[in-house]
């Protein structure tokens, strides 16, 4: 079954700690995306990547970092510089070169202890 797997489903961060959210896809999609959802604010783009070893900042990249070492994987690190990390994080992927729908994972809920 093709799809996007996000883990963990729930994650807790202590003050000053970096945490990493995992995103893996087996859809053979080139492009991958990270979004953040806050109540009443919709989905805001954090980072996106079109190919391995290449990624671009979205609208709210400050305090986050990503890597794209494999086509299937696009982990997101929430650093201690992100002062308000509590949110629902969504990973998505799409075929890069033609317009098509984004496929989403089930999300990770990050909370601060």
Partner 1 sequence: DQQVKQNSPSLSVQEGRISILNCDYTNSMFDYFLWYKKYPAEGPTFLISISSIKDKNEDGRFTVFLNKSAKHLSLHIVPSQPGDSAVYFCAASGKDRTTSGTYKYIFGTGTRLKVLA
List of residues contacting partner 1 (CB under 8 A): 4, 6, 31, 33, 35, 40-45, 48-50, 54, 56, 58, 88, 90, 92, 94, 96-97, 99-107, 109
Query: 82 or 93: whose CB is closer to partner 1?
Result: 93
Q: φ and ψ at 53, to 5 degrees?
A: 65, 20
Q: How far is the CB of 71 from partner 1 (least distance, A)?
A: 14
Q: What is the Cβ-side half-sphere exposure of residue 110, based on CA atoms within 13 angstroms?
A: 28
For every residue of 3-32, DSSP letters joined together read -EEEE-SEEEE-TT--EEEEEEE-S--SEE
Q: How far is the CB of 103 from partner 1 (least distance, A)?
A: 7
Give the pair of three-digit tokens for residue 31.
């492009």
Query: 31 or 79: whose CB is closer to partner 1?
Result: 31
Q: How far is the CB of 16 from partner 1 (least distance, A)?
A: 27
């Amino acid at each position: 079954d093709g799809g996007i797997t996000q883990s963990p489903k729930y994650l807790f961060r202590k003050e000053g700690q970096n945490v990493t959210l995992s995103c893996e896809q087996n859809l053979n999609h080139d492009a991958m995306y990270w979004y953040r959802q806050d109540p009443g604010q919709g989905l805001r783009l954090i980072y996106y990547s079109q190919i391995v070893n290449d990624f671009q900042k979205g609208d709210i990249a400050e305090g986050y970092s990503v890597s794209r070492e494999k086509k299937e994987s696009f982990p997101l690190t929430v650093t201690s510089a992100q002062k308000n990390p509590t949110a629902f994080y969504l990973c998505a992927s799409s075929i890069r070169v033609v317009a098509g729908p984004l496929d989403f994972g089930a999300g990770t809920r990050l909370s601060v202890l």
